[in-house]
Amino acid sequence: MSGDARRPKAVLIAGPTASGKSAAALALAARLGGTIINADSMQVYRELAVLTARPTPDDEAMAPHRLYGMVPAREAYSAGSWRDDAATAIAEAQSEGRVPVLVGGTGLYFKVLHEGLAPVPDIPAEIREHWREQAETLGAEGLYRELALLDPAMAMRLRPSDPQRVARALEVIEATGVSLAEWHGGETSPMLSPDGVVRIVVAPEREVVYAQIDARFDRMVEAGAVEEVRALIALHLHPGLPAMRAHGVRELATHLVGAASLEQAVTKAKTETRRYAKRQMTWLRRFMTDWDWFPDAAAAAGAITQ
């Protein structure tokens, strides 16, 4: 979308990790008078500033930023919670005469914007199998304790003596980030109609993304990623919490307990992040075919002119 002289109602920017979408968002927000709103499920966590490449103070000085680092790692933040928080942030930006610029790599969040929360999607077989195995290993009481931690709203609706339904609730919260209680609430209305909304995908070639992932992770280590994971471990959080599954946490933790060298941990973290980027691209190609696609941040930043 080039040469559009109209000020958009909102701008949505998606893309795989390390694609440059945050740089595009910052450039557009500065030009349009926008507020950047986080649409990444890991950048919400307070304790993960380095490993999630959260905006820097210099970035925040260029444009207002919302929904970054506002959730403690001990909480399991859901897509439903993000929907409510994002609706508030969008309304605040619009009331201030600013353009909401939503940017992130969590595809489900963008679906919530346009479609609301639809019926429960298919759950990957490996997640279903994991929780069936956990039911055997932990027993009914232990499985229920997992649910009470990860999805307290749904735990209140179920009995510990019903492990089949408890396992179902656990697989849904893990796969979707949304409580089964919310899915059962029925479909919600879309937050944004497509009229006046610019929708952008920043999608460099795969090898470019992979190289950027590797270079960025090296910068993260230099910026204190190991110390960040050390502090996270010291909180003694449940390993099933979303923040504990952020890319790099598990790998750097193995180094901190002496099970791997730093070089081995970094190599593994880069590999897992590249795999995640590949899954993100699969999602984008499936669900965002009608968005405007750009090969890099500079091209995306030039998508709107005033």
Asked if residue 220 is part of any domain, the answer here is yes
Q: In this structure, are 172 and 235 located in the same domain?
A: no
Asked if residue 255 is part of any domain, the answer here is yes
Asked if residue 2 is part of any domain, the answer here is no
Residue 191 pLDDT:
82
**Domain limit, last residue, from 133, 158, 183:** 183
Residue 272 pLDDT:
95
Domain hosting 152: range is 125-183
Q: In this structure, are 76 and 111 located in the same domain?
A: yes
Give tens-digit pLDDT for 115-127.
776 667 678 888 8
Residue 4 reports pLDDT greater than 50: no
**How many domains does the chain fold into?**
2
Q: In this structure, are 200 and 275 located in the same domain?
A: yes
Residue 184 reports pLDDT greater than 70: no
Q: In this structure, are 211 and 272 located in the same domain?
A: yes
Q: In this structure, are 74 and 29 located in the same domain?
A: yes
Q: In CATH, what number is assigned to the domain containing residue 146? A: 1.10.20.140
**Domain limit, last residue, from 183, 202, 226:** 183
Q: In this structure, are 73 and 139 located in the same domain?
A: no
User: Are the C-beta atoms of 206 and 278 separated by less than 8 Å?
Assistant: yes
CA gap 39, 107 in Å, rounded: 9
Q: In this structure, are 239 and 269 located in the same domain?
A: yes
Residue 153 reports pLDDT greater than 90: no
Q: In this structure, are 31 and 172 located in the same domain?
A: no
Asked if residue 238 is part of any domain, the answer here is yes
End-to-end CA distance of the chain: 12
Tokens found for residue 301: 């930043």
User: Mean pLDDT over residues 213-228, rounded?
Assistant: 98
Q: In this structure, are 274 and 200 located in the same domain?
A: yes
How many CA within 13 A on the CB side of residue 199?
A: 17
Q: Between residues 121 and 88, which one has the greater pLDDT?
A: 88
Asked if residue 5 is part of any domain, the answer here is no
Helix (H), strand (E), coil (C) string for the chain: CCCCCCCCCEEEEECCCCCCHHHHHHHHHHHHCEEEEECCCCCCECCCCCCCCCCCHHHHHHCCEECCCCECCCCCCCHHHHHHHHHHHHHHHHHCCCEEEEEECCHHHHHHHHHCCCCCCCCCHHHHHHHHHHHHHHHHHHHHHHHHHHCHHHHCCCCCCCHHHHHHHHHHHHHHCCCHHHHCCCCCCCCCCCCCEEEEEECCCHHHHHHHHHHHHHHHHHCCHHHHHHHHHCCCCCCCCHHHHCCCHHHHHHHHCCCCCHHHHHHHHHHHHHHHHHHHHHHHHHHCCCCEEECCHHHHHCCCCC
Q: In this structure, are 85 and 198 located in the same domain?
A: yes
**Domain limit, last residue, from 183, 210, 225:** 183
Asked if residue 60 is part of any domain, the answer here is yes
* Residues whose CB is less than 8 angstroms from the CB of residue 306 and which lie 6 or more positions away in sequence, other chains included: 5, 7, 31, 32
Residue 1 reports pLDDT greater than 70: no
* Residue 34 dihedral angles phi and psi, to the nearest 5°: -110, 165
Q: Provide the mean pLDDT of the chain.
A: 91
Q: In CATH, what number is assigned to the domain containing residue 251? A: 3.40.50.300
Asked if residue 129 is part of any domain, the answer here is yes
Q: Between residues 17 and 183, which one has the greater pLDDT?
A: 17
pTM of the model: 0.80
Q: What is the dihedral of CA 139, 162, 238, 108, to 10 degrees?
A: 140
Residue 239 reports pLDDT greater than 90: no
